[in-house]
């Protein structure tokens, strides 16, 4: 038995999870590596080579690395759970006129559950991933906070993790910068891996064409939604569109309509198949409702709390007051926020700490 016990590490074959696994092994943990197969690329309908964390190449890379370092490795097939939950939700959200966050759903509802279940079977006390984030216990709560490297921080995608999951989760890379991790990989003999570019695509949409994916996934979708109206907020018809699910709030490019000035998608109305367009300034709003809360630093918010609230992954955040009303959060921003998209994640920060998060329900003006 190792001096620090057994830990289950999610290994994707990429830079971050490789350094995580090798680092923990060198620290004295008995590392068990696990790679999850979430999606069958042959069924994606894409001609593009497999990419991302769940491709066959990545799985083989993870196994090779594990064997080299004497790490027991296994592959876990979670395609059924992934398809039933993440992909069905992805499709349902677009059909409902929202913009989904599949990676958040996958992390919080599929991968962590699968990791903890297997950790129990293998008598692993902890699980570890290569996310750039930190977790600590404070006032009997497990608190996720930003990773040291602000440019690579991934706390935004972890807002949905339960307290029970965080109790057994470790983020070894949270205290390092990406440049340091790349150097560690080079020192470990993985120079090629250190130079490898990162993929930001959704794993089951490898060509980044979500519209094509929806068309292949939903029989008769194009025929059902094509020919709806582009309209202004006042209801003036501007032209025809290709179907409301194929647009997202804030979109400017690819509208295929010439109006003499740049126009943006302001709202999507699935019930009428209308897409509302307007000028850039019309995208700005002062408030929103957030549903499906998962609270982190505090179990609940009893009075208005000043936070920095992010409405998308790369959003630097905006100062806002949040007021909890049951399972919903009312958010009042101190300044205008552009392109608040229903379906995306909203995450509330107090300093570097994640107070909680949820799904954007709707935006409003004050």
* C-alpha span between 89 and 98 (Å, rounded): 11
307: left (phi over 0), alpha (psi -120 to 50) or beta: beta
219-278 fold: SH3 type barrels. (2.30.30)
Task: Indicate if the alpha-carbon torsion angle 95, 100, 102, 108 is positive or negative.
Answer: negative
- Enter the DSSP assignment of 299: S
Q: What CATH number has the domain spanning 282-364? A: 2.40.30.10
Q: Quick: pLDDT tens for 65-80.
A: 999 999 999 999 988 8
Catalytic residue among 53, 54, 103, 106: 106
Q: How confident is the model at residue 44 (pLDDT cuts 50, 70, 90)?
A: low
- Angle formed by the axes of helices 210-217 and 88-95, to 10°? 100
Catalytic residue among 54, 103, 124, 203: 203
The arithmetic mean of pLDDT across residues 99-111, rounded, is 89
Query: Does residue 203 have an active-site annotation?
Result: yes
Task: For the chain, give every domain's residue range.
Answer: 6-195, 219-278, 282-364
Query: Does residue 106 have an active-site annotation?
Result: yes
Q: Is the CATH number 3.40.50.720 carried by domain 6-195?
A: no
Buried b (16+ CB within 10 A) or exposed e, 23-44: bbbeeebbbbbbbbbbbebeeb
- Computed over every residue of the chain, the mean pLDDT equals 92
Exposed/middle/buried for residue 162 (C-beta within 10 Å: 0-12, 13-18, 19+): middle
Q: Quick: pLDDT tens for 248-295.
A: 999 999 999 999 999 999 999 999 999 999 999 999 999 999 999 999
Please count the other Cβ atoms lying within 10 Å of the Cβ belonging to residue 304. Answer: 13
Locate the DSSP E strands across 176-327: 229-231, 237-240, 264-269, 274-278, 284-295, 305-310, 318-325
Query: Given the structure tokens 């608040």, which residue do they identify?
Result: 340
Closest C-alpha to 221, from 206, 210, 205: 210
Q: Quick: pLDDT tens for 193-231.
A: 998 877 667 888 878 899 999 999 999 999 999 999 999
Q: How confident is the model at residue 25 (pLDDT cuts 50, 70, 90)?
A: very high
Q: Quick: pLDDT tens for 281-330.
A: 999 999 999 999 999 999 999 999 999 999 999 999 999 999 999 999 99
Locate the DSSP E strands across the chain: 6-10, 30-37, 72-77, 126-128, 133-138, 141-146, 169-170, 229-231, 237-240, 264-269, 274-278, 284-295, 305-310, 318-325, 328-338, 345-350, 353-364
Q: Are 221 and 92 in contact (CB under 8 A)?
A: no
DSSP 3-state assignment of 120?
helix
Per the structure block, which two tokens stand in for 231?
A: 């309209």
């Amino acid at each position: 038995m190792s001096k620090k016990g057994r830990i289950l590490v999610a290994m994707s074959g990429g830079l971050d999870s490789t350094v995580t696994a090798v680092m923990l092994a060198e620290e004295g943990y008995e590392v068990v590596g696990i790679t999850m197969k979430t999606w069958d690329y042959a069924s994606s309908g894409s001609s593009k080579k497999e990419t991302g964390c769940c491709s066959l190449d990545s799985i083989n890379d993870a196994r090779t690395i594990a064997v080299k370092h004497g790490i027991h490795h296994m592959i876990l097939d979670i395609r059924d759970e992934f398809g039933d939950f993440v992909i069905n939700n992805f499709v349902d959200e677009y059909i409902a006129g929202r913009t989904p966050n599949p990676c958040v759903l996958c992390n919080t509802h599929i991968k962590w559950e699968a990791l903890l279940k297997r950790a129990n079977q293998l008598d692993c006390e902890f699980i570890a991933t290569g996310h750039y984030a930190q977790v600590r216990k404070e006032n009997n709560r497990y608190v996720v906070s930003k990773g040291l490297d602000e440019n690579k921080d991934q706390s935004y995608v972890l807002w949905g993790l339960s307290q029970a999951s965080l109790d057994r989760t470790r983020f070894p890379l949270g205290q390092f910068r990406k440049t340091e991790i790349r150097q560690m990989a080079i020192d470990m003999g993985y120079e090629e891996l250190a130079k490898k570019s990162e993929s930001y695509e959704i794993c089951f949409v490898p060509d980044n064409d979500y519209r094509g994916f929806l068309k292949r996934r939903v029989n008769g979708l194009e025929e059902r939604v094509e020919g709806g109206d582009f309209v202004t907020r006042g209801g003036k018809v501007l032209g025809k569109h290709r179907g409301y699910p194929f647009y997202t709030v804030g979109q400017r490019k690819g509208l295929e309509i010439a109006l003499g000035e740049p126009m943006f998608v302001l709202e999507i109305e699935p019930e009428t198949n209308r897409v509302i367009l307007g000028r850039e300034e019309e995208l700005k709003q002062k408030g929103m409702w957030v549903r499906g809360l998962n609270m982190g630093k505090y179990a609940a918010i009893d009075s208005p709390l000043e936070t920095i609230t992010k409405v998308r992954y790369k959003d630097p955040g905006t100062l806002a007051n949040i007021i909890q009303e049951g399972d919903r959060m009312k958010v009042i921003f101190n300044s205008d926020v552009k392109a608040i998209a229903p379906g995306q994640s909203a995450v509330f920060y107090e300093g570097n700490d994640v107070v909680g998060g949820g799904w954007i329900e709707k935006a409003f003006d004050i």
